[in-house]
Structures are given as structure tokens and as C-alpha cells.
Amino acid sequence: MPKEKKPSAFGRLMTYAGRYRFLTYLSLILSGLSSVLALLPFVCIWRIIREVLAVRPDFSRATGIVRNGWLAVLFAVLAWLVYIAGLICSHGGAFRTATNMKKALLRHIARLPIGFADEMGSGRVRRTVTEVTASTETLLAHNLPDMAGAIVMPVCMVVMLFLYDWRYGVACLIPVLLGFAAMMRMAGPAMQEDMRQYQNALERMSNEAVEYVRGVPVVKTFGQTVFSFHRFKSSIDDYSAFCMHYTVTMRRHMLTYTVLINSAFAFILGLTLFLIRGDNYQMDILLNFLFYLIFTPAIATTMNKVMFMSENSMKVQDAVARMDTILAIQPLSEPQRPREPKGAAVELNHVTYRYADDAPAAVKQLSLKAGKDEIIALVGPSGSGKTTVAGLVSRFFDPEAGQVLLGGVDVREIPKETLMKRVAYVFQDSKLLRRSIAENLLIAKPDATEAEMLNALRRAQCMEIIDRLPQGIHTVLGSQGTYLSGGEQQRIAIARAMLKNADVVILDEASAFADPECEAQVQQAFQEMARGRTVIMIAHRLSTVRSADRIYVLKDGAVFEQGKHEELLQKRGLYAAMWAEYQKAVNWKVGEGA
């Protein structure tokens, strides 16, 4: 069976251009025409030189100088105007194509589960979205018109080179062919793999940079340095090593290429000296030498356009391939026969999930329950699967085995819109928009009244925050020095979850950034939120889970222990050891343990 031929990067781009693709094709025609017009001034200059040499020393007989001079100016202006028209067309097509690509990519990303960004890395996703549109604009708006000119101009140049004196034509082509051979060592098929590795290195560094910035609060709190983030430093070192290796590898080829494409003058000078050796002095030889002397700088310009066009085409090809990687990810399936959950109980039955096919299971054969009006807590060492459980309940991703039930219904059978209404998520580091408090709350319920918002804020212990703001809930955060602490932001986020009035509330380290003064109020907000709802808490700060109805201790992706706080302490197992370590850390004083 013949292998299916993949469409070229240009072909893929044109599928997104729509009815504006004619602008791209028109820009190629205009650019090629501009290249032809740009060569005609050289012909006019050559005719001026020929006439001057023909009538010397009686220059009064040179009647065509003015006419040829104005023709040279006319052709130069026409070439410039046609080229500008081509750029206008190319930019119009490029911007529309880039817009359509970004819309298609973002529309697809919006349909993907939230867990997709965690698996792929937000830095990688963001870079793919920006890189594919930026490289597309560069290719369609600049490189392709230049490519058309770079193709048309050499053809015309070859004709002109051999039109006047084939010997000079050969002399000019020798450095061109040698330079092209050197260029292919840099921009040939091998460079495609180098380009892929370069983009991979940039992608890894971007991902790790995002993770590092997110971890800055921890770095500052514990006095760590950037070197504690080994992966970030490693990604920088890998990128630096690749760039240095590639630069050194290409140095000889780039030097050879630069020397050759700029050496046409040396070849035609050597040929001229050979032709006029001894008494073999001919005016035609001098005339041709002057013409090619003026003409050869255009060779280097054209060759440089070809080289950079090849490099940028590879960038676009790589960017489109990365875009296809995201587009190939399938959204979570929608239920064929949607069902409505009955109640707010959450249950996981023998659930197994892994983030990648070759990765160990994040949770395996895990089972737990959380009933209505019940607060359950998930605790355990880092990497034990706590956040994975929360993601499965919210359907950020689907399990590879087992069931996740909400109200007795598998979450895969619940419509996405219904599930989003039934489940609220308060993240560890909740971000508030630089908008008013009211606008931040309306994200959860766009049609909420001011009374409903104030009631949610009151229940979330936020009224003392609102009372001190100059314009109450209509105060814009970040304006006039209005800023909230971490704990205050968390309480606003809790109020937003309350306003949503979801059946299930997931608190992922929601009190992690609460200052001691705010922690008691955050805990009161948790208790208020639990009324009539199912609350799933993920916590490292064990003091926040003492009042939970049931605590699940996770280890290696499975339930290791479960029970109330006092029951788990009596078991003297993993939870008791974690509690002892927590108490030691809380009661630690300066000078102890030195």
C-alpha cells in the first residue's frame, strides 16, 4: 500500500487562508514581477556606460544618457511600487491565515480537558500557539514573496549573465554554485532535525521557566536558589550546549558560504586580467567587466534570501507539526445518552490512571467515597495521587480503568455543562482578575444579583475585606493600591464557589497561602461551604483536616489508611507519623535542632 503523502507546510497554511488565499498567490506574482523590474536598471546603466565609452572623447554625441538614466529611475520606482503592492497583499493573506490558525487551535484547546495542559505543559502549549502564528506571519508576509523573487531573479540573472558574455556568466556562476553547495550543508535535510531539536530545547526551557516562576514563593520562603530547581537549570544548560555545538558545527560552512557568494568580483576580475593580458586589450571586455562589476552584488543579496527562506520554511514546518500534535489530541467523549446525577455523593471504584502510556500509574485500583454534607480529606506524601483524584472527579481526564461516579452516575455519562455546574474547584493559588470583586464573582454565576453576591461573601467570611474597600464589591483590584493577601484572595475564591452553588466542592490546598490571621476565617468558610454539599479537601497542612468527616491517607496512588483524625492517630501508622512531623515543624523554634 503506497504511503500517504503528507501535505506541505504551505499547503496546510493555505487550508486556513480561506478566501484570502488569492492574496498570497497575487503577492507571489507581484514579487516575481518586481524582481524582473529590479534588474532592468542594470541594463540601462550598462547602456549608459557603453554609450559613454563608444563616443569618447566627444561626449557631446552621447544623446541617450538622459533617456537611459530616467528609464533606470522609472524601472527602480516601478520595482519598488510593485514590491510594496505585493507586501500589502502578502500581509493581508498572512494576517488572516494566522488569525484563522490561532482560532482553530484555541477552539480545539477549549474543547480539551483541563488535564491536557498539565500533561503537555502550559509553557509548551502557549509557545505552540504563539510560535505557529508568528512563524506563519513571517513566512507568508515576507519569506514567500522573497522566495518568488529569489526564484525569478536567478533565472533572469542567468539569462543576463550569458546574454552579454558567456565567459563572465560562467565566472559569476562558479561562486554561486559553490556557495549553494556550502549553503546546503547548513540548510539541507539535516537542518530539519537540528531545527526540531532546537525547538524542543526552547520548549523544555519555556515549560521549566513557567514552573520556576510558579515556585518563586516557595524559593523565597525557604531561602532556596535557582539551583534547587534542577530541571530548570538543566533545561538552560541543554539549550546552551545545543546552541554552542550547532554554532561551532556550522561555523566553517557559514564562513565558506559568505566568502563564496561575495567573491564573484574576484572571479570576474581574474577573468578580465586573463582576457586582456599582453596586447589583447579590447573595449568590449572592459565594458562587460564594468557591467558585471555593477551587477554581481545582486547575487549575494539573492543567495541570502534563499538561505533565510529555507531556514524559516523549516521553522514553519516544525511549528505546523507541533500544532498538529495538539490538534491530534481528542477531546473527552460526550455521552451518547446523557444522564443527570442524583445527589451529590462522589465515589471512585477501583480507578487507575496514568498521565502517559510509559509512565507509572498515578492512582491504581483506588476506591473512596464522599457523601452529601460530608467533608473528606485527602492527605499523603507528594506524588501520592491526591490532585489526580480531584482531577478525575472534575473530569479533567478520564480513568483508564474503573469508574468515577457523581450522584450514582459515571461522570463520562454526564454532559460537560452539567458537570461544570455540579462541581466547583478552588485551586491552591487562586487568581483573581484585575477587575472588581463583583466581576470576579460573576464568573461563577453571570446572572447573580448583588444581594446573592453579598450573601456568598458573608458566608465566606469576606465582609471585613469588603467593608474596608473604598467602593465595596465594585472596587477594582490592583487600582489605587488595592491588593489582597493570599488568604483574602482564597476567601474571595471560596465565595465565588459558594455563589456557583455546586453540589461538589474540591479544595486543592486552598489554605496553603493563607496567613495565620486568615486561616481561622478560611476554616470557617470551609465549614459554611460544606452545608448541603460534598467537600473534598486536599491538604498538606494537617491542622486543616482535623475536623474532616473522613481522612483518606494516600500512598503510591492507593488508599493506605482511612478514618477520622483521632482514629488514625490511634493506628500509629503513616498518618500518625505525618502528624508527628507536622507538629514538630509547627512547634519548632529558632535555636532548636542546631
Choosing from 271, 293, 327, the residue where a domain stops is: 327
Q: Are residues 16 and 77 in the same domain?
A: yes
Q: Does a structural domain hold residue 359?
A: no
Q: Does a structural domain hold residue 403?
A: no
Q: Does a structural domain hold residue 404?
A: no
Q: How confident is the model at residue 485 (pLDDT cuts 50, 70, 90)?
A: confident
Residue 406 vs residues 232, 427, 444: alpha-carbon distances, Å? 39, 20, 20
Point out the least confidently predicted range of 8-17, 24-33, 102-111.
8-17
Task: Say if residues 322 and 331 touch (Cβ distance below 8 Å).
Answer: no
Q: Does a structural domain hold residue 118?
A: yes
Q: Are residues 447 and 528 in the same domain?
A: yes
Average pLDDT over residues 78-98: 90
Residue 491 vs residues 70, 443, 465, 511, 580: alpha-carbon distances, Å? 77, 15, 10, 9, 29
Q: Does a structural domain hold residue 525?
A: yes
Per-residue cell: 378: 485527602
Q: Does a structural domain hold residue 4?
A: no
Using a cut of 0.85, tell me whether the model's pTM lies above it: no
Q: How confident is the model at residue 118 (pLDDT cuts 50, 70, 90)?
A: low
The H or E element containing residue 361 is: none
Q: Are residues 316 and 463 in the same domain?
A: no
Domain, as residue range, for 29: 9-327
Three-state SS at 511: coil
Q: Are residues 419 and 318 in the same domain?
A: no
Q: Are residues 301 and 381 in the same domain?
A: no
The model's pLDDT over 444-478, given as tens digits with 9 standing for 90+, comes to: 888 889 999 998 888 888 888 888 888 888 888 87
| Side-chain half-sphere exposure of 589, counting CA atoms within 13 A | 1
The model's pLDDT over 345-403, given as tens digits with 9 standing for 90+, comes to: 899 999 999 887 777 888 899 999 988 888 888 988 878 888 888 888 888 888 889 99
Q: Are residues 311 and 389 in the same domain?
A: no
Q: How confident is the model at residue 81 (pLDDT cuts 50, 70, 90)?
A: very high
Q: Are residues 291 and 156 in the same domain?
A: yes
CA distance 502 to 533: 8
Q: Does a structural domain hold residue 139?
A: yes
Q: Does a structural domain hold residue 334?
A: no
Residue 27 vs residues 85, 91, 92, 306, 395: alpha-carbon distances, Å? 8, 9, 10, 17, 48
Q: Are residues 294 and 385 in the same domain?
A: no
Overall domain count for the chain: 2
Q: Are residues 456 and 322 in the same domain?
A: no
Q: Are residues 200 and 66 in the same domain?
A: yes
CATH code at position 183? 1.20.1560.10
- The beta-carbon contacts of 57-63 under 8 Å, at least 24 apart in sequence, are none
Q: Are residues 289 and 393 in the same domain?
A: no
CATH code at position 460? 3.40.50.300
> In terms of Cα–Cα distance, which of 16, 27, 34 is closest to 92?
27
Choosing from 327, 362, 389, the residue where a domain stops is: 327
- Position 387, amino acid: T
**Residue 98: strand pairing partners:** none
Look at residue 467 in the predicted model and tell me its pLDDT. 87
Average pLDDT over residues 268-296: 73
Average pLDDT over residues 235-253: 80
Q: Are residues 386 and 272 in the same domain?
A: no
Per-residue cell: 125: 502549549
